[in-house]
Amino acid sequence: MTERIKHVLGLSGGKDSSALALYMKETRPDLDIDYFFTDTGYELPETNDFIDKLEERLGYIHRLNARSLNDIDGRGELDFRSMLKKHQNFLPSQRDRWCTVQLKLKPFEQWADDFIKEGYRIVNYVGIRADEPSRTGLLTIDKPIATVMPFREDGIVKSDIENILQRNGLDLPDYYSWRSRSGCSFCFYQKKIEWIRLKEKHPDLFEQAKKFEKGEDNNVTGERFYWMGKGEPLETLEDPKRRAQIIENHEKKVERFKKKKRRNALLGDIEGVYEANDIDEIYDDIEGGGACITCYK
């Protein structure tokens, strides 16, 4: 009996998974790939726009979401407060990333389970590049899902990614002009400067994130937990002095980064360019800042 294989590729709205999907179409046109985007319900508008553009080039993209898993009161809405209650009212954090499980992984598992029940083995293509350290493709589960990394196999590195997008008529997603990653608007992996930019670009989304920090929901042990860490609620960014301090620190880091780049002659002169794309390097962090590739790749 022929083995039934389902090829799937998850799009996060980030540059690497997007480039991978286009690259697969160019280099493995015979593979029948199901593309999916796990919409957390709290994505940036720029991400949704970019997914629509990709769909014009790739064909149908399955939109998966966590609504059916978290629809506690039957309203058919993705209610983050309900999820907070299920998690003892603790905001997700780098130490307890329950959001990735609830908003990204479970909807994928649910979708994949239907194929597995039909007897498929799943091959999942992920956008880990040849110039990145080894990582597992998913924070997942004991299922017949094989992870394949075509960029790694083919020696594709960071500098190739923009070329792949460009030759397919795409620029980087618009949020890269001010933020380094796709994912939820309130993602706790963003740097303080990115929170400031979120407030400027999408004040409504900033206010929404602020609301999740407030109220009895987020006060279980008497300690307050905030997106930016203990003791630093988002409203501190409304203080002009604090804001100015963060911007100044960021600019110093960018300057240091540019000097280093020039010294190493890797990028040539990048004067005047805000490198959201390189924010992890600017902050001496690992690429992705430790976030799961499902959220940002």
User: What does the binding site for ligand SF4 look like in residue numbers (CB under 6 A)?
Assistant: 40, 92, 97, 99-100, 103-104, 183-184, 187, 189, 291, 295
Q: Find, among 31, 30, 48, the residue nearest to 39 by Cα.
A: 48
Cβ 33 vs Cβ 6: under 8 Å: no
Closer by beta carbon to ligand SF4, 100 or else 168: 100
In the complex, the smallest distance separating the C-beta of residue 181 from ligand SF4, rounded to whole angstroms, is: 7
Residues in the chain: 297
In the complex, the smallest distance separating the C-beta of residue 90 from ligand SF4, rounded to whole angstroms, is: 13
Residues linked to residue 9 through DSSP beta bridges, in sequence order? 35, 125
Closer by beta carbon to ligand SF4, 168 or else 185: 185
Backbone angles phi, psi at 172, to 5 degrees: -60, 150
Closer by beta carbon to ligand SF4, 70 or else 100: 100
Cβ 237 vs Cβ 196: under 8 Å: yes
Closer by beta carbon to ligand SF4, 70 or else 168: 70
In the complex, the smallest distance separating the C-beta of residue 77 from ligand SF4, rounded to whole angstroms, is: 17
In the complex, the smallest distance separating the C-beta of residue 187 from ligand SF4, rounded to whole angstroms, is: 3
DSSP state of 43: B
How many Cβ atoms from other residues are within 10 Å of residue 32's Cβ?
7
Closer by beta carbon to ligand SF4, 88 or else 245: 88
In the complex, the smallest distance separating the C-beta of residue 35 from ligand SF4, rounded to whole angstroms, is: 19
Backbone angles phi, psi at 251, to 5 degrees: -60, -35
In the complex, the smallest distance separating the C-beta of residue 55 from ligand SF4, rounded to whole angstroms, is: 21
Chain residue whose CB lies nearest ligand SF4: 183
Closer by beta carbon to ligand SF4, 105 or else 164: 105
* Angle CA 250–254–256, to nearest 5: 115
| Assigned token pair, 117 | 């029940």
Could you tell me how far CA 47 lies from the centroid of its own chain?
A: 10
| C-alpha to C-alpha distance for 178 and 14, rounded to whole angstroms | 14
